[in-house]
Amino acid sequence: MNNNELSCNVLVVGSGGAGLRAACEACAQGASVILVSKGRVNRSGATLLAGANVSADVMCDGASLWRMGVASADPTDSPERWASDILCEGFFLNRTDLVEQYVSQAPARVEELLKAGANVTAADEGGRQIGVPGSSILDVLFRKASASDRLTVLQDTTLCGILPAADGSAAGALLLDIPGGRLISVRAGAVVLATGGMHGCYTFNSGTTGLCGEGHAAAMRMGARMSLMEMVTFCPDVICAPSRFRGSILPYILQCMGYGHLENRLGEDFLSKYLSPGAVELALGSEWNKLLLSYAMYREAQAGLCDEHGGVRFSLRGLTPARRAELEETLPQLRRGIYAELMALHDRQGGLSVSAAGHYFDGGIAVSADMATSVPGLFAAGECTGGLFGANRVAAATTQMLVQGAQAGQSAARFALSAGPRTPDPAALEQLRAEVLAPFSCTGGESPRRLRSEVSEIISRSAGIVRCERDMLLGLQQLAQTDRPVTLSQKERAANRGWLDYLEARSLRACGEAILRCSLARRESRGVFMRSDYPMTDNDGFLCETVLQNGKVSLHGITQPAAEPGRFDYFDYLERVFLRLSYAPEVTVQ
């Protein structure tokens, strides 16, 4: 044994909220845990940027929240009512076992976050939620995880692949220590994937640079079932330019709080061109704004009415001085650091160029309510899983990671401690090592950076906000052509960015193919998923889960009494479903 060969009971890959919470739980169950972080352990992944690191929604049913002493919570709410809302929000594609697990476990997770001293920035956000900055959630979880002497942390380390045992179960993983250039093989009794989203698939996204779907890709290579991979949420109001602020969702957070308005490059309001009056109200006054505003921005770009950066203008100009002062009072973060600079830029320009960016991945690795994947010994939690939120996530990614992380940590620890040590298949390890090291022995290949950019450009073009068969078939064909040899300019393994680009391109290509294959199979429009060639929501033909396994897509019908039979105009249906939400009366729909 040397430090390139490690072993543990539970290997947790990813150190955002889901990974940290899984590590805490697995340690508490008595397992030895290795926690792998692609960056800095308590400052990586999408958790850090949740709610622009100002105020991320943390949710549970109002009655439970009220019992915790949150005065704004709705004591008449219940887990059942919340579950029914989540099904409507997800346009009935949610896995009901995951929804039940989620609503029943959320109160305990939220309460422990509060008791551990998370910094609550907004407690008056409506009946079911409080606001906590992403960094505060990470701090609380990391403090708890580091208290265990059973935890080993590997930072600046990425996942190259999962190592199977001879029987095909997960028995560890091959990792790359990025600065050191060392390949590390880990033997584990169980593996938890908590690698977050596939943000790198999109050239314009709101994630950190490291979110490249490594967990999704590794699970697919193991033959794991994937669920609803076509469902991708775009966030509107993400800053396009200048490049220094590109990717920030701050304008979206401000808009959700009721501040600011949007206009095209001619200074016109454009939402009513593409949305009915009722849908405009939902776009401006509800959390269904992500899909509606993203759609309107897409149409405006198609119409050639965006600025030179491809964005529309988000502006606070219409605010009275008193409202502006109120905003800065509510969010004191706007008065310091990067956000103060951003506000100054806004004031100089009279607005900010914003557009819709790849933001949250509703689909992912299929899990059961104990967070087990279809591969024995392999568990998953948080954004890299699929199914909980169906076709549209509203409430809430931060709570998902806490609930699913704790469950995955517990299940993985129990599995590992009862199944005992496992041995990766040596042939599989050698094959994976050879694949990972291939670019070092290849001459005459291409630049890995160029190939990685090409992969995300293809996915962005073919699997964007509104998709069609022709573009997607072309996209699949073009993606297949990116599987070309690469050559590294830097020959040393340590701190080799080109090598990482090669590995990331490999994961992104697999994720893009999965998104496209599942999108092609769903011949309708529903929730965040829109097709120009199949614009109706079709409960007769597509009230089903798209399952991808070993490269093949199958459709599995869902029995959901709440979903009425029929085919509906996408926007009419969206408004109708909205009216069934328990919180609908708070927004006046015409």
Partner 1 sequence: MDELVVTITRGDACARRTCEYRLPALPGASVMDVLDYIYENLDPTLSYFSHEACRQSACGKCLVRVNGKVCLACGCPAGAGPLVLEPWNEHVVRDLLCE
- 3-class state of residue 393 by DSSP: coil
Evaluate the CA torsion angle 468, 471, 473, 479 in order and state its sign.
negative
Within residues 433-462, the interface with partner 1 by CB under 8 A covers 447, 449, 453
Name which of 56 and 190 has its Cβ closer to partner 1.
Answer: 56
Distance, CA of 125 to CA of 287 (rounded, Å): 12
- 3-class state of residue 551 by DSSP: coil
Least distance in angstroms from the C-beta of 380 to partner 1: 20
Q: Could you give the count of Cα atoms lying within 13 Å of 142 in the half-sphere of its Cβ?
A: 19
| Alpha helix stretches (DSSP H) within 147-234 | 214-221
Within residues 199-228, the interface with partner 1 by CB under 8 A covers 208-210
Name which of 416 and 451 has its Cβ closer to partner 1.
Answer: 451
Distance, CA of 332 to CA of 340 (rounded, Å): 10
Least distance in angstroms from the C-beta of 246 to partner 1: 8
156 part of the interface to partner 1, by CB under 8 A: yes
Beta bridge partners of 262: 314
532 part of the interface to partner 1, by CB under 8 A: no
Within residues 246-275, the interface with partner 1 by CB under 8 A covers 246-248
53 part of the interface to partner 1, by CB under 8 A: yes
Name which of 39 and 278 has its Cβ closer to partner 1.
Answer: 39
Distance, CA of 93 to CA of 231 (rounded, Å): 11
183 part of the interface to partner 1, by CB under 8 A: no
Q: Which span sits near partner 1 by CB under 8 A: 35-43, 230-238, 266-274, 373-381?
A: 35-43
Amino acid at 540: D
39 part of the interface to partner 1, by CB under 8 A: yes
208, burial (CB in 10 Å: exposed 0-12, middle 13-18, buried 19+): buried
Name which of 384 and 528 has its Cβ closer to partner 1.
Answer: 384
Least distance in angstroms from the C-beta of 255 to partner 1: 18
135 part of the interface to partner 1, by CB under 8 A: yes
Angle at 339 between CA 334 and CA 343, to 5 degrees: 80
Least distance in angstroms from the C-beta of 415 to partner 1: 28
Measure CA 290 to chain center.
14
Q: Could you give the count of Cα atoms lying within 13 Å of 59 in the half-sphere of its Cβ?
A: 23
Name which of 179 and 426 has its Cβ closer to partner 1.
Answer: 179
Least distance in angstroms from the C-beta of 329 to partner 1: 22
Amino acid at 88: C
Q: Which of 178, 282, 356, 384 binds partner 1 (CB under 8 A)?
A: 178
The closest alpha carbon to 357, from 235, 476, 478, belongs to: 235
523 part of the interface to partner 1, by CB under 8 A: no
Q: Which of 68, 165, 241, 442 binds partner 1 (CB under 8 A)?
A: 241
Q: Which of 69, 75, 117, 179 binds partner 1 (CB under 8 A)?
A: 179
Distance, CA of 136 to CA of 42 (rounded, Å): 10
Least distance in angstroms from the C-beta of 99 to partner 1: 31
Q: Which of 337, 420, 565, 585 binds partner 1 (CB under 8 A)?
A: 337
Q: Which span sits near partner 1 by CB under 8 A: 42-50, 369-377, 385-393, 459-467?
A: 42-50
Beta bridge partners of 232: 361
Q: Which span sits near partner 1 by CB under 8 A: 38-46, 296-304, 312-320, 395-403?
A: 38-46
277 part of the interface to partner 1, by CB under 8 A: no
> CA–CA distance from 167 to each of 327, 552, 556 (Å)?
58, 22, 27
Tokens of residue 63, six digits: 């009655």
43 part of the interface to partner 1, by CB under 8 A: yes
Residue 552 has a CB neighbour count (10 Å cut-off) of 9
Left if phi > 0, otherwise alpha if psi is -120 to 50, otherwise beta: which for 382? left
- Mark 480-509 with x for binding to partner 1 (rule: CB under 8 A) and - for no binding: ---------xx-x-xxxxx-x---------
Distance, CA of 543 to CA of 540 (rounded, Å): 7
- 3-class state of residue 220 by DSSP: helix
Least distance in angstroms from the C-beta of 118 to partner 1: 17
539 part of the interface to partner 1, by CB under 8 A: no
Give residues with Cβ within 8 angstroms of 330, minimum separation 6. 122, 257
Least distance in angstroms from the C-beta of 59 to partner 1: 22
Q: Which span sits near partner 1 by CB under 8 A: 46-54, 117-125, 295-303, 431-439?
A: 46-54
The closest alpha carbon to 306, from 353, 342, 264, 337, belongs to: 264
Angle at 430 between CA 424 and CA 431, to 5 degrees: 105
Name which of 215 and 498 has its Cβ closer to partner 1.
Answer: 498
Angle at 19 between CA 15 and CA 20, to 5 degrees: 75
What is Dmax (Cα atoms) for the chain? 68
40 part of the interface to partner 1, by CB under 8 A: yes
Q: Which of 3, 76, 147, 244 binds partner 1 (CB under 8 A)?
A: 244
158 part of the interface to partner 1, by CB under 8 A: yes
Name which of 222 and 505 has its Cβ closer to partner 1.
Answer: 505
What residue ranges bind partner 1 (CB under 8 A)? Answer: 37-40, 43-45, 48-49, 52-53, 135, 156, 158, 178-180, 208-210, 241-248, 337-338, 447, 449, 453, 489-490, 492, 494-498, 500
